[in-house]
Homo-oligomer: A and B are copies of this chain.
Amino acid sequence: MTTRKQKRPAGSPQAFAEAAECLRILAHPVRLRMVQLLLHGRYTVGELAEDAGVADNVASEHLRLMQRCGFFTSERQGRRVYYEVAEPHLAQIMGCVESRFLAGR
């Protein structure tokens, strides 16, 4: 039996720190929109930038952030770079966010 004084929900401090960091990456309007779009297919930096209404370099920086924490992978095809979702749990979390904030009800 593990050492504990009371019954408490699980989670090491380290796990909470990691979870918080990923949520912080997600917590940006442009990045949220990019996640939502990429959950429906592959898109290039330019396409994502235009859809989100930001400059190409800004879009590139947001995508790099999300790639670094494992959200996306990227693949070069000619001049274009296609991004796509790599983290399966993104669909679940985005589903929660949509049902709370983006639901057409």
Seen from chain A, the residues whose Cβ lies within 8 Å of a Cβ on chain B are 8-11, 13, 15-24, 26-33, 36-37, 39-40, 51, 53, 89, 92-93, 96-102, 104
Contacts and interface: CB of A to CB of B under 8 A. Distances in A.
A2 to B, nearest CB: 11
B36 A27 contact: no
B27 A24 contact: yes
Copies of the polypeptide in the assembly: 2
Given A97-B19, A101-B18, A9 B24 contact: no
Nearest to A19: B101
A37 to B, nearest CB: 6
A26 B29 contact: no
Which DSSP category, helix, strand, loop or mixed, fits chain A's interface? helix
Nearest to A101: B19
A32 to B, nearest CB: 5
B40 A20 contact: no
Nearest to A91: B96
